[in-house]
A and B are shown apart, each in its own frame.
Chain A
Amino acid sequence: AQKITQTQPGMFVQEKEAVTLDCTYDTSDPSYGLFWYKQPSSGEMIFLIYQGSYDQQNATEGRYSLNFQKARKSANLVISASQLGDSAMYFCAMRDINTGFQKLVFGTGTRLLVSP
């Protein structure tokens, strides 16, 4: 069974600084995908970044990058140059590719607050 763990209930960062949100996962399958989503107070889940288990390089999307350490089973999200609009809940999720089940399993989330 897959499991996602996010151990930081809340994080604080000042505007323009970088922040790392932690995510560890557990799966016995060799092929899987890891996702990060942002959930503002409006409720909608916004896709940020994806990392495949066989991808050689860490994924990057603009100010978002994924620090993927396969041996440690961690996929931490790094947000560079934080902005006030980054204040939101952030969820790490994974999909087990081999089963064909397209559902995502989510962690409990980290609330990020960006201060001026």
Chain B
Amino acid sequence: EAGVTQSPTHLIKTRGQQATLRCSPISGHTSVYWYQQALGLGLQFLLWYDEGEERNRGNFPPRFSGRQFPNYSSELNVNALELEDSALYLCASSLYGRSSGANVLTFGAGSRLTVL
């Protein structure tokens, strides 16, 4: 079974540009989550999508946005890039189950965004 795949692996942009990151979940998983991990820091929750809908959003400005496609893959867009957006962006997927406490998030290897 293929795991969560993310692309690109690395991305270099300059301030003010836009970045698009992509994520393909594990087959059968309907939920996709995006996290930001700045250098030396923990994971900060960005967005959660399920069945094509945005279910929850972290404390990030509106220039961080995304969507989930009918095949459950997802895209994260970051507009008007700033230097502090440089980070590892991790995508995870899971089966959505409200009563399932042990619902494990499976992560991809991440996309490293560098803003110059």
Count of inter-chain pairs, beta carbons less than 8 A? 70
Residue A13 is within 8 A (CB to CB) of chain B in the complex: no
Q: Mark A9-53, 1 if CB is under 8 A from B, else 0.
A: 000000000000000000000011101010000111111001011
Q: Is the CB of A102 within 8 A of B42?
A: no
Residue B105 is within 8 A (CB to CB) of chain A in the complex: yes
Q: Point out the residue from B48, B92, B96, B97 that lies within 8 Å of A45, measured CB to CB.
A: B92
Q: Which residues of A contact B (CB under 8 A)?
A: 31-33, 35, 37, 42-47, 50, 52-53, 91, 93, 95, 97, 100-109
Interface stretch of the complex, out of B20-28, B62-70, B73-81, B108-116: B108-116
Q: Is the CB of B107 within 8 A of A107?
A: no
Q: Which residues of B contact A (CB under 8 A)?
A: 31, 33, 35, 41-43, 45, 48, 50, 55-56, 58, 88, 90, 92, 94, 96-99, 101-110, 112
Q: Point out the residue from A50, A104, A108, A109 that lies within 8 Å of B102, measured CB to CB.
A: A50
- The contact sample of 22 A-B pairs, CB cut-off 8 A, is A31-B101, A32-B101, A33-B101, A33-B102, A42-B109, A43-B88, A43-B90, A43-B109, A44-B109, A44-B110, A46-B107, A47-B105, A50-B102, A52-B101, A101-B48, A102-B31, A102-B48, A102-B94, A102-B103, A106-B42, A107-B42, A108-B41
Q: Is the CB of A97 within 8 A of B101?
A: yes
Minimum CB–CB distance for B110 against chain A, Å = 4
Given contacts A45-B107, A91-B43, A103-B33, 8 further A-B contacts (CB under 8 A): A35-B105, A43-B88, A47-B104, A97-B101, A101-B48, A102-B48, A102-B55, A104-B43
Q: Is the CB of B101 within 8 A of A95?
A: yes
Q: Bound complex: CA of A35 vs CA of B75, how far in Å?
A: 26
Closest to A34 in B: B101
A43 touching B112 in the complex, CB below 8 Å, given contacts A103-B33, A108-B41: yes
Q: Which B residues lie within 8 Å of A45 (CB)?
A: 43, 90, 92, 105, 107
